[in-house]
Amino acid sequence: MPEFLINGPLKYRQINEQILMKNIILLKKDLQMRINSINGFHPYLSKLWDLKKLKQIYEDYLSKDFYLNRDILRLDYALYNLEAINYWFNLIDN
């Protein structure tokens, strides 16, 4: 076990805010690029979800000046799951 954990077993760890913000900004840019691919999703997904409305919700949230980092992570996770379902439908179709 690292020495700093033995000497100071506090659960709080200082976070480098610059690195965190840099990663959130990169994730936000990645989300903006991935949102554009929603238009190319499998047609069956459009029957299950209103993809245009979903895309609009993403774009509206990401265009805000203030947003919560945890919400960006949730949006990323939700889009990842939607992309996985899209991939699955494409595998079934081909």
pTM: 0.72
**Residue 72 clears pLDDT 90, i.e. is over it:** no
Tell me the C-alpha to C-alpha distance, in Å, between residue 1 and each of 5, 11, 14, 15, 34: 7, 14, 18, 20, 40
CA-CA distance, 45 to 58, in Å (whole number)?
17
- Specify the pLDDT at position 42: 92
Domain locations in the chain as residue ranges: 19-93
Tell me the per-residue pLDDT of 7-63, one tens digit each, with 9 for 90 and over.
Answer: 766 667 677 889 888 988 898 888 888 998 888 899 999 899 999 998 998 888 888
Tell me the per-residue pLDDT of 32-46, one tens digit each, with 9 for 90 and over.
Answer: 889 988 888 999 998
